[in-house]
Amino acid sequence: MSYPFCVQTKSKILMIGIDGLLLQRAIDSGRARTLSFLRRDSYFCEMLVDMPTVSGPSWSTILTGVTQDIHRVIDNDFVDHNLAEAPDLLTQASQNFSGISTFAAAGWPPLIDPNDVGPVIAVRKNDIEQGTHSIFVRDGETHGYESVDREVASAALAAIQESAPDLSFVYFCGADEAGHQTGTLKGGYFDAIERIDLLVEQLHHEISERSKKFQERWLIVITTDHGHRDEGGHGGDSAQERATFVIAHGVGMAHPSWPAKIKPEDIVGHLLATL
């Protein structure tokens, strides 16, 4: 893959979405080595997502930079949504910087699949044809996220190696899936977190290597869309279900000095200002 235009952005951004991640619990388990390192050595902010604490509304807010009253995604059915008036981060970047290269990879179809509800990340057929945008679509709901997350990570690594897109969104859902199956106090939840942590480590490693080799400035951003109850499940207004965070880690550049307190809908603005 190579991109026909060469836009000079100040830095490249990889945004990693990890669905249903209780970050502090992951760190305390000792099984999230990379997330633990990035949590310590980055810009970091704890945030609360709006109700209901489910994926559709929360990812829509995080990825569009506007709240439910505007994007009107209020559940995972996406009925009567207004995403056409609330473009996602990648689309906004492509409008602000002509020729910018963007990439998205996800296994939850409503985020990305042209043939599913939503999708939150606009399809941008023309940009795909022009070679300035590419997507990697899988269906983890049908095939399970353990293998799909691995495929998503492989596709993202290949994209970074081959063309280093200016702005990428890469999404993992295995922790959320495991939380629903086993709860979030033991076993399966932490197995899934450890698997995802290793994928994050690979992405961080690849970016560090590129940054050294090509003197590139990269920002790695990590966030989640909601927490999980101890017994598994989310949607309610407990602090544990509403808990989210943002990690922003500079590679070949300083960690950002964003305000100490930001909201999920503020991330897009800060990222557009970083490009």
224 near 245, Cβ under 8 Å? yes
Q: Which residue is nearest to Zn ion (CB)?
A: 55
Residues 42-81, interacting with Zn ion (CB under 5 A): 55
- CA-CA distance, 70 to 94, in Å (whole number)? 21
Sketch the per residue contact string, 167 through 206, with Zn ion: x for CB under 5 A, - otherwise.
Answer: ----------------------------------------
- Under 8 Å CB-to-CB from 109, ≥6 apart: which residues? 115, 116, 117, 119, 137, 139, 141
- Tell me how far, at minimum, the Cβ of 187 lies from Zn ion, in Å: 20
- Tell me how far, at minimum, the Cβ of 249 lies from Zn ion, in Å: 22
Asked if 19 touches Zn ion (CB under 5 A), the answer is yes
Q: Based on the number of CB atoms within 10 Å of its own CB, is 126 exposed (0-12), middle (13-18) or buried (19 or more)?
A: exposed
- Tell me how far, at minimum, the Cβ of 76 lies from Zn ion, in Å: 9
- Tell me how far, at minimum, the Cβ of 108 lies from Zn ion, in Å: 8
- Tell me how far, at minimum, the Cβ of 104 lies from Zn ion, in Å: 17
Number of residues that bind Zn ion (CB under 5 A): 4
Nearer to Zn ion, 88 or 225 (CB): 225
Contact with Zn ion (CB under 5 A): which of 50, 127, 206, 225? 225
Nearer to Zn ion, 119 or 256 (CB): 119
Nearer to Zn ion, 171 or 190 (CB): 171
Nearer to Zn ion, 87 or 179 (CB): 179
274 near 256, Cβ under 8 Å? yes
Binding residues for Zn ion (CB under 5 A):
19-20, 55, 225
